[in-house]
Amino acid sequence: MTLYTPKTDLQNLLFLDRDGTLIKEKNYLSDPNQVELENGVIEGLSLLKNNGWQFIIITNQSGIGRGYFSQEQFWTVQEKLYALLKKSEISILDCFFCPHTPEDNCSCRKPKPQMVLDALNKYPVPLSRCVFIGDKEADILCANNAGITGIHVQTGHGKTLNIPQATYAAPHFLDAALWILR
């Protein structure tokens, strides 16, 4: 779902995991009233936006495939996230999600890179101008499989993980944003 018309001269794309990265991890989140931003997300996204970055969410949502919640409930949670970001004049360019369970062995579920590749097909940007931030190993492996830089943010599930495949491990989202701009 595209939320605004992107500039035709996209320069930098930041791919973002949702749960545990942008918003606090709540297993199988389906209630928009439980959406809570992670610390440093507004500051980090604002800084990146002001430096020419645009944002795409790449998220596995197996709760849909497991029957825990519907696609409509997923989009209701997304709308709440978008509303929270909009208060700080931050927009999400697009959102790609996988509704399948791991057992489905689909082509879109992270760590497979299909969602990132689909996004790059829709919004062509050189791989060297793309970064992926996520809290799980699947996020970092997805970035690696797509040929882009992967940053492990140590929030959500990432608090207890060591992901050696990550280019950088950031204690929080703002630190990840500052590293990108270095």
Distance CA 158, CA 155 (A): 5
Q: Residue 32, preceding bond cis, omega within 30 degrees?
A: no
Are the C-beta atoms of residues 38 and 172 closer than 8 Å to each other?
yes
Listed in order, strand segments (DSSP E) in the chain are 12-16, 53-60, 94-98, 130-134, 149-153, 168-170
Q: Is 37 helix (H, G, I), strand (E, B) or coil?
A: strand
Q: Is 118 one of the annotated active-site residues of the chain?
A: no
Query: Of 17, 94, 135, 139, which is the active-site residue?
Result: 17
What's the distance, CA 57 to chain centroid? 4
The answer to whether residue 94 is catalytic is no
Q: List the catalytic residue out of 9, 19, 31, 104.
A: 19
Q: Which residues contact 20 (CB under 8 A, 6 or more apart)?
A: 38, 134, 135, 136, 155, 156, 157, 158
Residue type, 93: L
**What positions carry a catalytic annotation?**
17, 19
